[in-house]
């Protein structure tokens, strides 16, 4: 078993507040600070848990969320996705089972930044035959508690 009830409780407490101290977690779980520190380190090493800082993109001037459907020809989608993943504005890159071949979420400041990103960073990637862009009017839900920790 990769995790037990204590690990799950630690992860839940950290997801509620990443600023919670090991002492507070220990007090709430009836464990010691050393045990909590060891459990967190062990889960991080096994890519089960990662405590991260989250930026407020809107406060930093990134007002547009753009969802791109990428269609690929004459090249494996996985290789195209690897190149797309290197783009700073790409928040997520997913290879899909059907059309489109790749789904990309971009965070950009404005329409000019979107155009610049597409023209200078996406269009030059070999294998992209065409793409469609959808601009999100409003993000109703964005749950960042879960992710692919072992991702490259």
CATH number at residue 120: 3.30.70.920
Residue 146 belongs to a domain: no
Residue 150 belongs to a domain: no
Contacts of 37 (CB under 8 A, 6+ apart): 22
Name the 3-class secondary structure at 129: strand
Rounded to the nearest 10 degrees, how much is the dihedral formed by the CA atoms of 109, 106, 68, 147?
Answer: -160
Q: Which domain holds residue 14?
A: 5-45
Token reading at 77: 């989608």
37 vs 105: CA distance, rounded Å: 34
Contacts of 52 (CB under 8 A, 6+ apart): 18
Q: What is the pLDDT along the chain (152 residues), one digit of tens a residue?
A: 678 999 999 999 998 888 899 999 999 999 999 999 999 999 999 888 887 767 777 777 788 999 999 999 999 999 999 999 999 999 999 999 989 999 999 999 999 999 999 999 999 999 999 999 999 988 888 776 666 555 54
Contact 110, 65 (CB under 8 A): no
Please check whether residues 40 and 97 belong to one and the same domain. Answer: no
Rounded to the nearest 10 degrees, how much is the dihedral formed by the CA atoms of 88, 94, 95, 101?
Answer: -80
Please check whether residues 119 and 77 belong to one and the same domain. Answer: yes
Please check whether residues 71 and 18 belong to one and the same domain. Answer: no
Q: Please state whether the predicted TM-score (pTM) of the whole model is above 0.75.
A: no
Residue 123 belongs to a domain: yes
Please check whether residues 79 and 131 belong to one and the same domain. Answer: yes
**Domain total for the chain?**
2
For residue 122, the 8-state DSSP code is: I
95 vs 88: CA distance, rounded Å: 18
Please check whether residues 41 and 70 belong to one and the same domain. Answer: no
């Amino acid at each position: 078993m990769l995790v037990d009830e204590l690990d799950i409780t630690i992860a839940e407490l950290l997801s509620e507040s990443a600023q919670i101290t090991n002492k507070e977690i220990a007090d709430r779980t009836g464990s010691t600070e050393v045990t909590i520190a060891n459990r967190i380190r062990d889960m991080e090493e096994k890519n089960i848990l990662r405590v991260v800082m989250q930026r407020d993109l809107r406060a930093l001037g990134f007002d547009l969320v753009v969802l791109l459907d990428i269609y690929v020809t004459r090249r494996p989608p996985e290789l195209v996705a690897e190149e797309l993943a290197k783009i700073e504005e790409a928040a997520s890159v997913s290879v899909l089972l059907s059309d489109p071949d790749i789904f990309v979420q971009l965070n950009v400041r404005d329409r000019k930044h979107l155009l610049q990103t597409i023209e200078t960073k996406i269009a030059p990637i070999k294998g992209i035959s065409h793409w469609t862009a959808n601009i999100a009017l409003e993000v109703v839900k964005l749950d960042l508690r879960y992710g692919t920790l072992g991702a490259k």
